[in-house]
Structure 1
Amino acid sequence: MQKPLTFLSSLALAAAVALPVAAQDEPGLDTVVATVNDTEITLGHMIVARASLPQQYQQLPEDVLFKGLLDQLVQQTALADSFTGELPPRVTLSLENETRSLTAGEAIEAVMAEPVSDEELQAAYDAQYSDAEPEPEFNASHILVETKEEADAIKAELDGGADFAELAKEKSTGPSGPGGGSLGWFGPGMMVPAFEEAVAGMEAGSVSEPVETQFGWHVIKLNETRTAEAPALEDVREELETQIRQTNVQEAIESLTDSAEVDRSAAEGIDPSVLNNIEWLN
């Protein structure tokens, strides 16, 4: 940053005022923010460094991040310039692996970016939903306590006309207690087996006998049941597109690997325990 001029002659000042202000170029990846021994540090270097920070550091104020990252890159550059001799194998091999990994990642991104056709989308939807059997869903509430005696007492109160939601708020030890014991809608496999089995055998509006699970003793009220319908294609479009792209990536990896000239013969006969020879990297 240039130091401000302490004075200007009246003629120079008048000329400066009369001239149009020159538009500065917008900063970009190649914008140089510092130089260290003629090595340039660009805005691109800073952006990449920021993106690799742990999430907690990315939440820092922008001015703090900017100064901290620039200081770090300046220090790293000065240190790198001070290094003499050959880089140890751990560094050169790490650079090769990182380059390989990042380049492969770009190839994967290219496959992921390919558009998904309507035909592919419909085929994926049909495969996943057209033959699916409708499944029952349940809306239930429960009161969770530690012992069967407590559960029996609660069931007796309910049989005597006590309000289920109020009793749940008062006595349930589960996280749903403050909400009157409501568990909302759930389908098969979403609850532990003993709980699901009890609910599946109930009629809407009924209250169960105490049911034991690993969490304690439950008194369950089945509020409603319904049959889950297959979602509309548009409702699962994004999910299906992701699945299709992931499948395309896997197929591309397999196809490229199969078509590449791969010779693994040099690895035959090597004892896998050699991977423990970390000292080789020094």
Structure 2
Amino acid sequence: MLHRLATAAFVAAALPVLAIAQDQTEAPAASTETAAPVDPATVLAKVGDTEITLGHLVAARSGLPEQFAQMPASVLFDGLLDQIVNQELLKQAYTGEEPDSVKVTIDNSRRSLMAAASLAEYLEANVTEEAVQKAYNDAYGDGYEPEMEYHASHVLVETEEEASDIIAQYEDGAEFAKLARDNSTGPSAPNGGDLGWMTAGMTVEPFDMAMQALEPGEISGPVQSNFGWHVIKMNETREQAPAFEDVQAELRAKVQEDVTMAYIDVLNESGNVDKSGAEGIDPAVLDSMTPQE
């Protein structure tokens, strides 16, 4: 019952934002008056002794559904302020003790927000440009050892005899791509056997070793793998490491993940964590219990 009432109150309090968003499709004209300087602590309204600040509006906007949060601030401002005022009025009108469901929800929200702030502060200090550059060097070398890439095609058949026949036809002048389209049982057959660009280790070992031994323009002898018999043609090779700028965001995310996990491990070791209270608890209680209980 409490949950239903709380939901109804929230929806009612949110109506100003929804109404303004629906009724006003264009932002009001900007005021020509010089705006007074403001900051998040600027008080916009009071409900009794409770102050509603600009910071409250900024936080409320960040929690809106995406289709509303992206609307112009001039459209949302009054609706957000009314919403927070209405919520404060409803809060002050409540005469009972603070429900346990509210307490645990506030605890979880505060914990989540403070954890995010704590981690952001730690990452800012520990995920440096030097750390990202080191991750690039570890993955791709120091810029002077680019990785070899291979552009190969192949014909896949069932027997060694068929593979030898493909080689003979190629040596007699047949086009390799046509031989692949007409004979190969592999998924690359419609593309003339073209496998695209690969690096060492991306294919099964017998194929991989035979491919790496070829020079551009050469074809292999019959090569057996667990898929069958291959005839491989090396189209071209290149030495290439991705530019640092092209992988910087990906590497930064990986460094952040590694730093985060290491930091959490340290905190767990030094944080006096005791999970013994969870021993013997049936996880199914999560399905049967609500925060109101």
Report the TM-score when normalising by structure 1.
Answer: 0.54
Task: Show the counterpart of 2:22.
Answer: none
Question: Does the 8 Å contact 2:41/2:55 carry over to 1?
Answer: yes
**Is 1:66 the counterpart of 2:79 in the alignment?**
no
Specify the SS of the correspondent of 2:125. Answer: coil
Tell me which amino acid in the other structure corresponds to 1:225: T
Tell me which amino acid in the other structure corresponds to 1:70: L
Specify the SS of the correspondent of 2:235. Answer: strand
**Is 1:88 the counterpart of 2:84 in the alignment?**
no
Tell me how many residue pairs correspond in the alignment. Answer: 250
Question: Does the 8 Å contact 1:143/1:181 carry over to 2?
Answer: yes
Question: Does the 8 Å contact 1:176/1:183 carry over to 2?
Answer: no
Give matches, 1:6-17, under 5 Å. none
Tell me which amino acid in the other structure corresponds to 1:111: Y
CA-to-aligned-CA distance 1:229-269 (integer Å, 9 cap, x gap): 6x788887766666555544444434444334x262x8358
Offset, 1:100: 1.5
CA-to-aligned-CA distance 1:191-213 (integer Å, 9 cap, x gap): 57787577446542246789999
Task: Show the counterpart of 2:285.
Answer: 276
Determine the C-alpha separation between the residues in 1 that align with 2:198 and 2:97. Answer: 62
Identity %: 33
**Is 1:223 the counterpart of 2:232 in the alignment?**
no
Q: 1:102 to 1:270 in 2, by over 3 A?
A: same
CA-to-aligned-CA distance 1:84-132 (integer Å, 9 cap, x gap): 42333232112112211211221111111116678867876676647xx
Give matches, 1:84-123, under 5 Å. 84-114=95-125
Question: Does the 8 Å contact 1:139/1:186 carry over to 2?
Answer: yes
Determine the C-alpha separation between the residues in 1 that align with 2:35 and 2:283. Answer: 57
Task: Show the counterpart of 2:11.
Answer: none
Structure 2: runs of 5+ lacking an equivalent: 1-31
Question: Does the 8 Å contact 2:154/2:193 carry over to 1?
Answer: yes
Question: Does the 8 Å contact 2:148/2:199 carry over to 1?
Answer: yes
Question: Does the 8 Å contact 1:143/1:174 carry over to 2?
Answer: no
Specify the SS of the correspondent of 2:151. Answer: strand
Task: Show the counterpart of 1:137.
Answer: 149
Determine the C-alpha separation between the residues in 1 that align with 2:91 and 2:175. Answer: 73
Tell me which amino acid in the other structure corresponds to 1:272: I
Specify the SS of the correspondent of 2:150. Answer: strand
Determine the C-alpha separation between the residues in 1 that align with 2:49 and 2:204. Answer: 66
Specify the SS of the correspondent of 1:87. Answer: coil
Determine the C-alpha separation between the residues in 2 that align with 1:64 and 1:219. Answer: 67
Task: Show the counterpart of 2:10.
Answer: none
Q: 1:85 to 1:195 in 2, by over 3 A?
A: farther
Question: Does the 8 Å contact 2:44/2:52 carry over to 1?
Answer: yes
Question: Does the 8 Å contact 2:154/2:231 carry over to 1?
Answer: yes
Question: Does the 8 Å contact 1:49/1:69 carry over to 2?
Answer: no
Q: 1:189 to 1:107 in 2, by over 3 A?
A: same
Task: Show the counterpart of 2:198.
Answer: 186
Question: Does the 8 Å contact 1:141/1:221 carry over to 2?
Answer: yes
Report the TM-score when normalising by structure 2.
Answer: 0.53
Determine the C-alpha separation between the residues in 2 that align with 1:87 and 1:120. Answer: 47
RMSD of aligned residue pairs (Cα, Å): 5.7
Determine the C-alpha separation between the residues in 1 that align with 2:174 and 2:79. Answer: 64
Determine the C-alpha separation between the residues in 1 that align with 2:194 and 2:240. Answer: 19
Question: Does the 8 Å contact 1:41/1:73 carry over to 2?
Answer: no
**Is 1:204 the counterpart of 2:204 in the alignment?**
no
Tell me which amino acid in the other structure corresponds to 1:66: L
Offset, 1:276: 1.0
Q: 1:83 to 1:200 in 2, by over 3 A?
A: farther
Give matches, 1:167-186, under 5 Å. 184-186=196-198
**Is 1:259 the counterpart of 2:244 in the alignment?**
no
Specify the SS of the correspondent of 1:272. Answer: coil
Question: Does the 8 Å contact 2:217/2:234 carry over to 1?
Answer: yes
Offset, 1:29: 2.9
